[in-house]
Structure 1
């Protein structure tokens, strides 16, 4: 009996030591735990309030003059005639940095080739590269000369005189929607993407043509982030202070790497930008704030990637719309994704079964991957 009592005491002592170790670890790592676990739970339960009520509208509301001042920069390059054709299915903005000459040229020769799109797909898609000025004053003049030469050849650059930096991405968003309203308001759809995004243009055009036959007044599709919490870690480039954004959750929004809105939503977002404080530097979140104020909600499209690449496989290519994180492999991917073999690979009973199995293996893995969701395997 005495021996059993000693065993119980020893077991309780080990429990106490284990608990102390766990608590010590939590205290040391609390900021990380709070950011990755607690803040996500809190923010997701808070998102209903953010998306349903208008206190964001009130806290970000400013006068029209102040709202206009956030994007009031002189144009350095302005392709005003690019949308002269009245029948424009899609106005596609590519957010680019001034020095990314090679990326733009690769896009022009692959998925953004407007001649190919017109001749092979039979529609007008206008691709415009959006940017500010080079942030390094010592390189700015040389880069600007090359940009002027580039625009003389292609006439597809859109540039204002602001520093092209991460913290000015919201200015880029203002530039896109305000220029579209002034110079290409008749485009049926508007898309925004990054210059390291691959767009499967045949699939995108086919999807938009199908949507054109439906009621798409409030269309906003992409990879949706729901209940995302503001990052409060000062070491992160996504850090947002309580003074800049006081709530525990962002409104629902689509990843800025690639999303599509209808002409009607583009007009609503433009009007929202003329009433809101645009000092929040995370552009896709600001887009969500604009959308909340005008009563528009994002819709998940399983073939729009988030911040990661889509898997390389013909069964994926058959329905893919966007994939993020591409630079050196764009030409390879364009060739592989648009071959006849990739189209219709899932046709027939066995083809469908094969592709479903492949997509389940590639997309339904038991770890988080910010690309296509497992639901894409069953679509």
Structure 2
């Protein structure tokens, strides 16, 4: 009996140090994991989606497309309205930062102003004084700050024109977690416009307004501005030839796009596109061009920027533009060749085609289109 007891004690004394060592190692690993996480207040899902594969994200700045980066998951948490000294501030706030749009009440006239700072601006794309060195056609790609792979795909496909009359820039909002990656991307390609508003779906209108502001300030000599999302392919040669014909015909003040008529606001509170009657009381939207792909001229942009100051912000950017155009009596020219659907079979006849959410899909399809149709000019 005593012999068995001594054997048990011996086994116990041998096991305890091993268990203690395992506990120490586990504690060190956990502490290291906590220390390696960046000191930022982003949510756990965002951290997991970006930082668990930061080597892939980092390499995308230097290599042709390898894979897609997840879409933004940072969402609005609160919206507050504060009033002081006849000025109302609309705060759009989330876990990382706060952006402010103000409107001043003067004799019942509301003036909305947007004040954001440029974090990065393109180099050698446009002249600031509106001279002839500005491009004939400027592509402004509205891109989610996370979508580095999409931007790489565009730079290496339809955006890779050697025509000096065509320039390309990318328009981004801001998220702290992406700061080092955007810094590298901007330094390498010098085609990034980034402002310090939070980059998410509900700030699409702010992104559009600030893109218009940059064009009106820094590229006002450009003849035509093509605003497009980063999940489209463009038939560069086709749109170039069409705009050249418009210019020759002296149609130099235009707003082109896939125009929707008779669409109704979504009143279902569970819908992503829900609009209350306080935001828009009518039952039918005015005509509006799909915001993912449209062409307009700088004079139209200037008129819209003036009108925006008197309009309550709305997160659906293409509808917001449509409302402004109606107030200004700006005619929207419908062009079915700005396809809102994935139409690879029609690419030879289209200006643009939607639905290339995967950068690899965009690259693969572009190779097929380019070989078949020679779409770059």
* TM-score, L = length of structure 1: 0.66
- Whether the aligned pair in 2 keeps the contact of 1:77 and 1:158 (CA below 8 Å) is yes
**Cα contact 1:178–1:270 (8 A) shared by 2:** yes
1:86 equivalent in structure 2: 133
CA distance in 2, matches of 1:144, 1:82: 23
Quick check: 2:144–2:172 contact (8 Å CA) kept in 1?
yes
Q: Determine which of 256, 276, 280 is the counterpart of 1:245.
A: 280
Residue 287 (1) aligns with residue 321 (2): yes
Alpha-carbon distance in 2 for matches of 1:77, 1:144: 11
**Where has structure 1 moved over 3 Å in runs of 4 or more?**
60-68, 341-344
For structure 1, the 5+ residue unaligned runs are 1-59, 135-139, 345-379
Q: Does 1:124 align with 2:165?
A: yes
Q: Count matched residues.
A: 266
Counterpart check, 1:304 vs 2:304: no
Given that residues 196 and 325 in structure 1 are in contact (C-alpha distance below 8 angstroms), is that contact kept between their aligned partners in structure 2? yes
Q: Please state how far the C-alpha of 1:267 moved relative to its aligned partner.
A: 2.3
Would you say 1:335 and 2:370 are equivalent positions? no
1:216-240 CA distance string (max 9 Å, x none) = 2441111111011110011111101
Moved more, 258-267 or 220-229: 258-267
Unpaired stretches in structure 2, ≥5 consecutive residues: 1-102
CA distance in 2, matches of 1:62, 1:186: 34
State the Cα distance separating 1:117 from its structure 2 match: 3.4
- Structure-2 residue corresponding to 1:21: none
Report what 2:220 is aligned to. Answer: 185
Match of 1:319 in 2: 349
Structure 1 residues 299-358: Cα deviation after superposition (integer angstroms, max 9, x where no partner): 11121112x211x33xx222111111103321222222223x4369xxxxxxxxxxxxxx
Structure showing greater relative contact order (alpha-carbon pairs closer than 8 Å, 6 or more residues apart) = 1
Tell me if structure 2 keeps the 8 A contact 1:62–1:275. Answer: no
Alignment of 1:147-162 (within 5 A): 147-162=182-197
2:261–2:286 Cα contact (<8 Å) kept: yes
User: Which structure has the highest strand share of the two?
Assistant: 2
* Higher Rg: 2
Partner residue in 2 for 1:276? 311
What is the alpha-carbon root mean square deviation over aligned residues? 2.3
How much does 1:65 deviate?
Answer: 10
SS at match of 1:335: helix
Distance 1:160 1:68, change over 3 A: farther
Alpha-carbon distance, 1:62 to partner: 7.1
**Residues 10-60 of structure 1, C-alpha deviations (whole Å, 9 max, x = no match):** xxxxxxxxxxxxxxxxxxxxxxxxxxxxxxxxxxxxxxxxxxxxxxxxxx9
Tell me what 1:10 maps to. Answer: none
User: In 1, distance between residues paired with 2:216 and 2:181?
Assistant: 28
Q: Distance in 1 between matches of 2:297 and 2:179?
A: 33
Q: State the distance in 1 between where 2:297 and 2:118 align.
A: 26
